[in-house]
Structure 1
Amino acid sequence: MSSRASARPKCCVIDAPLITTPRLALRPHRMDDMEAFWAFYQTPCAEFVGAPKTRTQMFFGLSSEIVSWGWMGHGAWAIDTAEGDFIGQIAITQPPHFPEREIGWTLFAPAQGKGYATEAALVALDWAWEQGIDTLVSYIDPDNVRSIALAKRLGATHDPDAALPDGETLRETLVFRHRPDSDGNPEAYA
């Protein structure tokens, strides 16, 4: 075997950093997360998240959020409870059709209404501000009252002048803007 054939390029893959709270762990995704996501996408809870039509589409979508860590320095975290139950995802992403970095969340039905999404989003926002990110947006369907309420709880404000993702209209998408010290971080109350 030639040395050329055996040489391997250095990999640039970077996993999501592990972030914990007393109730949650934000961790890198694992392959076994795929089945829980597929089950979620088959429920009415997925109506606002652009559910993939096939497992292959889901694989490519989730893979892009994972590889974003190495390419862009941000991406998706899986959310586990302290007991180890996988309950959803929090992500800071900017796919090519997004004009800005977005923080988005997906929580599976059994975990909704327990404050987990707020808790996960707050620590993800803290991480973003520590990285020097000065603003994030959340692109939300106007009928998604739960996500709008969460964005407001996080201190985000509606930004009607913000650019929309390619191909989307104001009838389909509201933009909520997150900024440091306006997102519910403790520093906002100091």
Structure 2
Amino acid sequence: MIETTRLILRRPEAADWPAYRAYRLSSRSTAPMPEGEAWTHFAAFFGHWALRGFGRLVATLKDGGRAIGHFGPFFPAGHPERELTWTLWDAALEGQGLAFEAARAARDHAFGALGWTTAVSYIAPDNARSQALATRLGAARDPAASNPYGDATQVWRHGRGVIA
């Protein structure tokens, strides 16, 4: 568990399903999906923890405990390197600094407790908010990095090798 000024970041719990489901079935998701597929993606949070010993964290508001998004370390099979992810599940929460607060805490956890020295974030070319967050976190575009998503995303590098 990681605590910030306004958030608690923790392992996913079954009780996070309704908020995650609402996000994945909405147009907010980069790929809105049927409920069954959303369930499979949600279950992958738990499987990643079981298989890798780490995984994305669910951010909850300290005030009320509402789950608001997932953030942090991700390294699925087939990906060329470790990734830092961030997603707010509700657009009404944008512009409050919550994504930065959670993403920074998750990044610091990966580079601290997990011992990472570098990571990437895969960001859609038209996602200006996510690109701004990556920049604020100190990441820089890395066009030479291997990209499992091809032209659908840009690679942003954190840590070693970042030229700001």
TM-score normalised by length of structure 2 = 0.89
For 2:16, which of 10, 14, 33 is the aligned residue?
A: 33
Partner Cα separation in structure 2 for residue 146 and residue 44 of structure 1? 16
TM-superposition CA deviations, 1:54-103 (whole Å, max 9, x none): 22222221222222223212211111111112111113111123211111
Partner Cα separation in structure 2 for residue 70 and residue 36 of structure 1? 22
Is it true that 1:158 corresponds to 2:141 in the alignment?
A: yes
Runs of 5+ consecutive residues of structure 1 not aligned to the other structure: 1-17, 183-190
Q: 1:81 maps to which residue?
A: 61
Is it true that 1:63 corresponds to 2:51 in the alignment?
A: no
**Code of the aligned partner of 2:106:** A
Runs of 4+ in 1 over 6 A off after TM superposition: none
Contact kept, 8 Å, 1:27 with 1:79, in 2: the verdict is yes
Partner Cα separation in structure 2 for residue 43 and residue 145 of structure 1? 20
TM-score normalised by length of structure 1 = 0.77
Partner Cα separation in structure 1 for residue 26 and residue 39 of structure 2? 18
Partner Cα separation in structure 2 for residue 114 and residue 29 of structure 1? 23
Partner Cα separation in structure 2 for residue 65 and residue 91 of structure 1? 11
**CA deviation after TM superposition for structure 1 residue 121, in Å:** 0.9
Partner Cα separation in structure 1 for residue 41 and residue 56 of structure 2? 11
Which protein is bigger by CA-based radius of gyration?
Answer: 1
**Code of the aligned partner of 1:105:** W
Contact kept, 8 Å, 2:55 with 2:74, in 1: the verdict is yes
State the identity as a percent.
Answer: 37
Structure 1 vs Structure 2 CA RMSD? 1.8
Tell me the secondary structure at the aligned position of residue 106 of structure 1.
strand
Partner Cα separation in structure 2 for residue 24 and residue 160 of structure 1? 33
Is it true that 1:119 corresponds to 2:104 in the alignment?
A: no
Shift in alpha-carbon separation, 1:70–1:42, aligned structure 2, 3 A: closer
Q: 2:75 maps to which residue?
A: 94
For 1:149, which of 115, 132, 154 is the aligned residue?
A: 132
Q: How many residues align?
A: 159
Shift in alpha-carbon separation, 1:91–1:125, aligned structure 2, 3 A: closer
Partner Cα separation in structure 2 for residue 46 and residue 97 of structure 1? 22
Partner Cα separation in structure 2 for residue 161 and residue 77 of structure 1? 28
Tell me the secondary structure at the aligned position of residue 152 of structure 1.
helix
Runs of 5+ consecutive residues of structure 2 not aligned to the other structure: none
